[in-house]
Structure formats: C-alpha cells, structure tokens
Amino acid sequence: MECVFCKIVRGEIPTELVFENENLVAFKDINPVAPVHILIVPTKHIESIDAMETYDQPLIGEIFQVMQKLARQYRISDSGYRIFVNTGADGGQEVPHLHFHLIGGKKLGKCW
Ligand code: 5GP
Ligand code: ZN
C-alpha cells in the first residue's frame, strides 16, 4: 500500500518514534509548525475520522491518553497546546491515514 504513514508504521521509512505500542505510533512532524509538533497515528490504516467504525472508538480514548502523556513529556502541559485533526479536502487533510496533530511550545494564533 502506498500510504506514507503505513510505511512509517512498517518501518519502511526510517522515522524516530517518540511513542509506540501495538495500536499507535507517534513521531515528530517532518514540517513542524511549532517547537513541539507530534503526529499520533493508529497502526491500523483508517483513512479519516469519516472512515471510523464503532469498534474504533476505544482507540480514540487511547489516543487522548497518549497525547496527554506526550504533552507532559515534552513539557507543554503547563504552557498549553493544541490538538487537531484535518479531515477531507476542505479540512486540509494531506495524508489519508487518520492522525492527530499535537502542537505547542509557542503561543498559537487562530487559523480560522
Ligand atoms: P495533514 O495535512 O494530512 O493533516 O497532515 C499531514 C502531516 O504529515 C503534515 O504536517 C506533514 O508535514 C506530515 N508528514 C507528511 N509526510 C511525512 C513523513 O514522511 N514523515 C513525517 N515525520 N511527517 C510527515
Ligand atoms: Zn495508512
């Protein structure tokens, strides 16, 4: 499959993982928009929020737990951070494999 995030999950694109378990991986965005910019990605290929099934719901809880842990680890819990998920064309989604952006480390402007 030509999905770039599936390739990262399979180790075909060398990428330093900042978190890894059987359900999720996390790594730094190649084009960061802030001092901390981490992507949290299910190991299973789910195209987007729109493609999620009921049985994927527990994964979302786990993703938020991991993002809280990473925010603490990268010391942005106190200063604050933003989590976002781009979905589809108007949402600006470029990689069609569900991923959560965790960004922080500077004062973030509103982008809408
Ligand atoms: P989207 O626009 O789909 O929400 O976000 C995709 C993100 O993935 C972008 O911020 C982009 O910089 C990042 N990205 C795309 N390809 C790679 C890659 O091969 N490695 C890493 N670390 N990030 C990537
Ligand atoms: Zn994929």
The b/e string for 30-69 (b: 16+ C-beta within 10 A; e otherwise) is eeeebebbbbbbbbeebebbeeeeeeeeebeeebeebbee
Residue 112 is assigned to a structural domain of this protein = no
Total structural domains in the chain? 1
The answer to whether the CB of 108 is under 6 A from ligand 1 is no
Q: Give the position of tokens 């994927």.
A: 56
Q: Could you tell me the strand order of the sheet in which 36-42 lies?
A: 17-20, 24-28, 36-42, 100-104, 81-84
Residue 103 · residue 34 · CB < 8 Å: yes
Which pLDDT belongs to residue 1? 63
Is residue 110 situated within a structural domain? no
pLDDT digits (tens, 9 = 90+) for 64-102: 999 999 999 999 999 999 999 999 999 999 999 999 999
What integer pLDDT is reported at residue 22 of this predicted model? 97
Asked if residue 112 has pLDDT above 80, the reply is no
pLDDT at 111: 78
Query: What is the arithmetic mean of pLDDT over 19-30?
Result: 98
For 34, the token pair is: 């802030």
- State the catalytic residue, choosing from 37, 45, 99, 101: 99
Tell me if 31 CB under 6 Å of ligand 1.
yes
State the average pLDDT over residues 9-36: 97
Answer yes or no: 99 catalytic. yes
CATH number of the structural domain spanning residue 16: 3.30.428.10
